Amino acid sequence: MIRELIDRLEGQHILTKEEFCTLIDGAGGEDREYLFARARRQAQAVYGRAVFVRGLIEFTSFCKNNCYYCGIRRGNSQASRYRLTEEEIMECCREGYALGFRTFVLQGGEDPWYDDEKLAGLVRQIKGAYPDCAVTLSVGEKSYETYKKWFDAGADRYLLRHETANPEHYARLHPEEMSSAHRKQCLRDLKAIGYQTGCGIMVGSPWQTTEHLAEDMIFMHDLNPEMVGIGPFIPHSQTPFKDKPPGTLERTLILLAVVRLMLPRVLLPATTALGTIHPTGREQGILAGANVVMPNLSPLSVRKKYMLYDNKISTGAEAASNIAELRRRMEAVGYEVVAARGDYAV
């Protein structure tokens, strides 16, 4: 039964909502291994055994939003805030380029200080200095015009997780001023402008049901994003969700594999959150169909301040400076870290 669903997902790249539920809840034991093997085979058919790396620059921890799950939410008065200067960001890129990174991801809270013009200037500067590199932005919900301005400045990709496709569930994770509808509109705008666009979810976020995950699958199938970010929810002690249980490794891996089979060419990171809940979480993610890792290029002095969740790892193989360690760990499971832009396969 489960195997038949896996085969059909592999062949047709879609299931009904009910079938997704059956698969997500039912893939245990040998069926689960079968799912992962099919997902790996799919990833290898498109990208071989290459693992793409992205240098993640967490350039501001100021955020005007107040998402209930997030450690850098506006309401966390204990968070120590920082903002990298343009010079510091350029220095991160210089270091990253020397280490072999050919994609820089500028991620931050929604920080009004970094306005449209400042960010456009920064994108231009990075693309001018490193024309062979891709720039990915991940700075939240903006207008079509703003996204267009940054695209015209040279930004290649944009990450904006939709968090959950179900509007009622979304409303339980975010304050009233945020909406699932607006977030989805942003994603459609990004696609229309021409960005390689990434959506995504947390697995095991409070009140998430299997039906919600099935709805996420159907939403992602319709959006057809070039990238999907999936990691377990991990509580942060200074948020309203501090006592909520974390998402599990097992369920996150199943979701990664299902997404790989549904969107064969998608760029799918084994996330830092996955590496945080289990020491070999990222390797296991690769073996479930992921093909990207995003080591941290932020200066050591600020790394501990970008705490989206408790115990976020930041100094081991997830540090860009330790790319040699990451390379060894990927090689140990049969994969090769490559120095390439790693664009979506067309």
Provide the binding-site residues for ligand 5AD, judged by CB under 6 A.
Answer: 69-70, 161, 163, 202, 231, 233-234, 236, 273, 308-309
Return the residue nearest ligand 5AD (CB atom): 309
Closest to 281 (Cα-Cα) out of 289, 271, 291:
271
251: which residues sit within 8 A by CB, 6+ positions away? 24, 203, 204, 232
Quote the crossing angle between the two packed helices 249-262 and 17-26, to the nearest 10°.
Answer: 140
Q: How far is the CB of 201 from ligand 5AD (least distance, A)?
A: 7
Q: How far is the CB of 280 from ligand 5AD (least distance, A)?
A: 18
Q: Which two tokens stand for residue 245?
A: 């249980």
Gap between the terminal Cα atoms of the chain: 33
117 to 113, 122, 149: CA distances (angstroms) = 10, 9, 9
Q: H or E element: which one contains 34?
A: helix 29-47
For residue 308, give the 3-state DSSP assignment: coil
d(CA 29, CA 335): 24
Strand partners, 229: 200
For residue 336, give the 3-state DSSP assignment: strand
Q: How far is the CB of 238 from ligand 5AD (least distance, A)?
A: 11
Q: How far is the CB of 120 from ligand 5AD (least distance, A)?
A: 22
Closest to 164 (Cα-Cα) out of 117, 104, 206:
206
Choice between 130 and 309, CB closer to ligand 5AD: 309
Q: How far is the CB of 262 from ligand 5AD (least distance, A)?
A: 19
Give phi and psi for 337, each to the nearest 5: -75, 125
Q: How far is the CB of 288 from ligand 5AD (least distance, A)?
A: 18
Q: How far is the CB of 236 from ligand 5AD (least distance, A)?
A: 5
d(CA 219, CA 213): 10
Choice between 195 and 309, CB closer to ligand 5AD: 309
User: In whole angstroms, how large is the CA radius of gyration of the chain?
Assistant: 19
Choice between 110 and 343, CB closer to ligand 5AD: 110
* Residue 116 C-alpha from the chain's centroid: 23
Tokens 């049969």 found at: 334
Q: How far is the CB of 272 from ligand 5AD (least distance, A)?
A: 9
Choice between 163 and 189, CB closer to ligand 5AD: 163
Choice between 47 and 215, CB closer to ligand 5AD: 215
Choice between 202 and 313, CB closer to ligand 5AD: 202
Q: How far is the CB of 308 from ligand 5AD (least distance, A)?
A: 4
Choice between 2 and 139, CB closer to ligand 5AD: 139
138 to 57, 61, 126: CA distances (angstroms) = 10, 12, 15
Choice between 42 and 138, CB closer to ligand 5AD: 138
Q: What are the helix (H) ranges across 247-319?
A: 249-262, 272-277, 281-286, 300-303
Choice between 149 and 236, CB closer to ligand 5AD: 236
> HSE on the CB side for 70, CA within 13 Å?
20
